[in-house]
Structure 1
Amino acid sequence: MKRREAREKALQTLFQLENTEMTVEAAIEHAVAEGKSSTFFEQLVHGTVDHLEEIDASLESKLEKWSLNRLAKIERTILRLAAFELLYTPETPSNVVINEAVEISKTFGDEQSGKFVNGVLSKY
């Protein structure tokens, strides 16, 4: 599984976790039901879930005139995933994380999502 695919699958898994009562393991299994998992994918999902409070606090400090709860669920999930990478995976260059998050937000979000995600993440 390539890193872009891992990020997209992690996004889908985290989005699903926010909307259901599934366990993390069940959501991971569901996301990769047909395919193969990867260490990077599982690191993204587990890391984001495990550090959710710290990630949310960090994001709240970067949002201007917005709260995390007011954001669309897809944008909130993309920001959480990218913030995890920025804060907890120093081996991945920040510009790569931000660029990937912007591209994914263009795919899964609306026409303004990419600009919004870029604006928030550029504060890291």
Structure 2
Amino acid sequence: MNVKSINILMIDDDAINLKLTEVMLKKHANVNEIIKASNGLDALGVLDKRGDIDLILLDIVMPVMNGLEFLSNVYSKNSNFNIPIVVLTTDETVKKEAMSRGANGFIAKPIAEQALIQEISKLIDLG
């Protein structure tokens, strides 16, 4: 069986969250590369340069450009944008707003590894 290899863009301004999530992701054979951005603006730059991102993990509360602003920007720049975006946040109240702005999934922080992998598997066929 051929295992699909995916590249994940993680957008979070918290180095500890990035590291913890990266450790969880690296345990899985499907994860090829983890690209990090510390805010939405940096992430838009990464997306402009790279056409090989398969999934985005997005924090909401960040400086410069927060997660909700990133969602609005990414879809206004490219109406055909189709990379799945999973929002990771401690703030449950933004779930509806994030989903209405185009997020495909939502995981409450602190992130449980099983929830993270389930959410990714729902959005990407890892077969």
TM > 0.5: no
TM-score, with length taken from structure 1: 0.31
When normalised by structure 2's length, the TM-score is 0.31
Structure richer in helix, relative to its length: 1
